[in-house]
Chains A and B, each alone.
Chain A
Amino acid sequence: MKRYIASLALLSMVSTGLLAGVAHAAPTAENDVWASLKQMHFGDRPIARGAGVIGLEAPVRAEDAAIVPISIKDLLPADGKRRIDKLWLVIDNNPVPMSAIFDFTPLAGRADIATRVRVDAYTTMRAIARTDDGKLYMATRYVKASGGCSAPASKDPDAARANLGEMRLKTGEQTATLGEIRDVQLMLRHPNHTGLQMNQLTRLYVPAHFVRKIAIDYAGDSVLSVNTTFSLSEDPSLRFSFKPRAPGELSVRVVDNRQMRFAESLQIEPMTAQMTTP
């Protein structure tokens, strides 16, 4: 009988004109999302256009809504007069729009971030920067992609389970000229499950399991800390910069919503020491 009733649902083929309207939220609705987010996080503080301070790059049309590469660029002049000390990444139409918050210390050198995100519906994406004089600036991009947050967790769930927690820190070379900005890529094997993926056969949701916090230190001092959500893609990747002032260890600590902890570190040798090695 149950099957019979369910089968009848197949008969109820409906025009999706209405559904289409819901799926691709009208611009006004999207502005409402931003208006309330803005009020919640920034109150009545003015947010200036990002030109010359902060840039956001994202594809116009994403090939895979579960893996949308984006990069946030620090556009301030390198004269050190002002620096960006905080960044917010907002994806208006994702289930949790406030996708990541980055706190930078001067050790970061530059507030450049590249990562990959899930995009659940056609959406405006925003990078909001705070400079150390307290001013706010915003860069926006519109991205056509949909289904990223409810998309299947993995191309190969068995492999994903086996690899959970594996971490890599990639930098061009393990030597550094002190005082020069280095780029580093952090990679973590983690499903970053949204909790929004229902298996239609079992009717069960894959429980939420996602990275909450990433702390990156160098020689004992904070470089960057990130508060994040499942808007980051499976196997989160984060490219960031740091400016080593002395030899030391770059260390990363990650904690997820189940209080699982992961850590990795990389010894950075100053260039001069490397050159004296036979």
Chain B
Amino acid sequence: MKLPKSISWAVLAGVMLTSQVTVAERRAFKVSEIAPGVFVHQGRIEPMSAGNLGDIANIGFIVGERCVAVIDTGGSPQVGVALRSAVEARTDNPVCYVINTHAHPDHVLGNIAFTDHDAAFIAHEDYAQALGARMQIYLDRFSALYGQSLSADVIVPPDRTVAATATLDLGDRVLKLTALPTGHTNTDLIVFDVQTATLWTGDTLFVRHIPVLDGSIKSWLAVMQRLRDIPARRAVPGHGPASVPWPQALNAQRGYLNTVAEGVREVIDRGGTIEEAIDTVGYQASNQWLLFDEYHRRNVTAAFVELEWE
């Protein structure tokens, strides 16, 4: 599955040469050490666009005595390359794991930048099915947005999948992985760094960026109830600040999802239509979230088609 080193570098060189990321911009790719050995690059709170090249998700890495685990790789090969440079600037240890928190393009399209390491790619057990089914759409959108076409080869299938839990040892540093029931997506995987009690939530937690529903609103709320019990000191949300206090950071998202669910149920109970729900539910939250106009109506649509079956 791994590329011979020379070929992979040829691929990456191609990415760099044709990319719109200048050397200066790559230098501007910042990572912050939010806890000892835990490095986070904070993505912009924006939709994917040519201007940001998919650099919209929080991604990063955790450094152990023996090796490094990368957690999500960004929304384009260029972001993956920038992350890889950031890893190499911080440690000489090799990357031994690349963990994808779920099968969304803004978190996984940088995977190709790590294929020449001896890293094992790790994801939820349903990740390959979900990403495989959606990849053509993601690649088409990538082309339309960035003016570049990407080979389907940028999908790196997982070498190892997690059905329930898994433990990774980076050398005197243990990561605990948990595959969650359907919430934000049906491929959500969270990572807990035992040494610093830091929880990487992936997109099961959005902060400031409006939550985006691509799974099940009912199950997501239940999952959040379970997440609350994790004894973390801080969390790295999938979108928002690089580090947020735990578990308080869950509150705003829970409030939003509850508002949407209750509003949609109210429309369903009185025999209202999906259009009515889309036009009326949840707008009281509009000034509390960034990108509300981009995702709220879609969230209500998804919630309605789920909850009308209750």
Contact = CB atoms under 8 A, between A and B. Distances in A.
A151 B137 contact: yes
B305 A235 contact: yes
A7 B144 contact: no
B149 A198 contact: no
B36 interface: no
Interface magnitude class on chain B: 35 or more
A258 interface: no
B78 to A, nearest CB: 11
Interface string A139-159: 000000001001111011111
A164 to B, nearest CB: 13
A14 B149 contact: yes
Contact of B305 (A67, A157, A166, A183): A67
Contact of B129 (A8, A147, A155, A199): A199
Interface stretch (B189-197, B245-253, B254-262, B295-303): B295-303
Interface string B278-306: 10000000000000000001100110010
A155 B302 contact: yes
Contacts of B152: 6, 200
A10 B11 contact: yes
A201 B154 contact: no
B275 interface: yes
A276 interface: no
Interface stretch (B2-10, B39-47, B89-97, B166-174): B2-10
Contacts of A159: 182, 216
B134 A152 contact: yes
Contacts of A201: 128-129, 131-132, 135, 155, 157
A270 B186 CA distance: 45
A14 B144 CA distance: 11
Interface in B113-148: 126, 128-137, 140-141, 143-144, 147-148
Nearest to B185: A155
Contact of B148 (A4, A16, A187, A206): A16
Given A67-B301, A150-B137, A155-B302, A10 B14 contact: yes
Nearest to B10: A11
Contacts of B10: 7, 11
Interface in A180-211: 183, 185, 187, 189, 197-202, 206
Contact of A158 (B11, B140, B186, B273): B186
Contact of B133 (A57, A183, A189, A199): A199
B153 interface: yes
B163 to A, nearest CB: 12
Nearest to B306: A155
For the complex of A and B, 10 pairs with smallest distance between CB atoms: A201-B132, A11-B14, A9-B151, A200-B135, A199-B132, A63-B298, A13-B148, A10-B151, A6-B153, A63-B297
Interface of B: 3-4, 7-8, 10-11, 14-15, 18, 77, 112, 126, 128-137, 140-141, 143-144, 147-155, 157, 182, 185-186, 214-216, 271, 273-275, 278, 297-298, 301-302, 305, 308-309
21 contacts: A4-B4, A6-B151, A8-B11, A9-B153, A10-B112, A10-B154, A16-B149, A19-B144, A67-B305, A69-B273, A116-B274, A153-B133, A155-B186, A155-B214, A168-B309, A183-B271, A187-B308, A200-B155, A201-B129, A201-B131, A235-B305
